[in-house]
Amino acid sequence: MKKFNYRRIIPVVFFAIVLAIIFRTVLFASYVVDGESMEPTLYDGNLLMVNKVIYDLKDVDRFDVIVFHANKQDDYVKRVIGLPGDKIKYKNDKLYINGEYVEEDFLDSFKDASEKKPFTKDFSLMETTGSSQVPHDKLFVMGDNRENSLDSRAFGFISVEQLVGKVDVKYWPLSQASFSLGK
């Protein structure tokens, strides 16, 4: 019978722990959802894992769920609706981007359950932001709970520099766990 050598395993375990800590702090951030603005996609108290490096490798996609710095104290989680150059209009509860109707399948269950009609009030970028299209290096974001969301309709565009990252994983509660919350 061979004797187990603990001296060899301790550095390997220590290295693995250090690597995991670096991996988690540099590449990912953990967030707790605070509020109802992203229901039914995210609920108050959900725990999220945010990929902090994804937008260094690729561009933001429409309907990505992102976390961004709203101000020095607060980070918000919202869904990207408008990309640079987009012209956005909401009419009769339908989203039009650059004049074409775009489906928002992620809202179907919430629209059906909502007693308020229309679910999203009519607006255009010009009415809400004073601009006819999303400027270069800016994004137009909205919460999925259109009746109860502080988003770009109120505070305007967000800068790409404000991005923390993309929500890749909802991991708590386990019964609601999911990966990749984009379209």
- CA nearest to 78, candidates 146, 133, 144, 12: 144
Q: Which two tokens stand for residue 95?
A: 């989203």
Indicate which residues carry an active-site annotation: 37, 78
- Element at 44 (helix H, strand E): none
Q: Which two tokens stand for residue 159?
A: 């800068």
Rounded to an integer, what distance in angstroms lies between the CA atom of residue 68 and that of residue 142? 12
Examine residue 40 and say whether the peptide bond preceding it is cis (omega within 30 degrees of 0). yes
Q: Tell me 39's DSSP state.
A: T
- CA nearest to 105, candidates 63, 65, 59, 51: 63
Q: What is the DSSP string of 66-97?
A: EEEESSSS-EEEEEEEE-TT--EEEETTEEEE
Rounded to an integer, what distance in angstroms lies between the CA atom of residue 143 and that of residue 22? 31
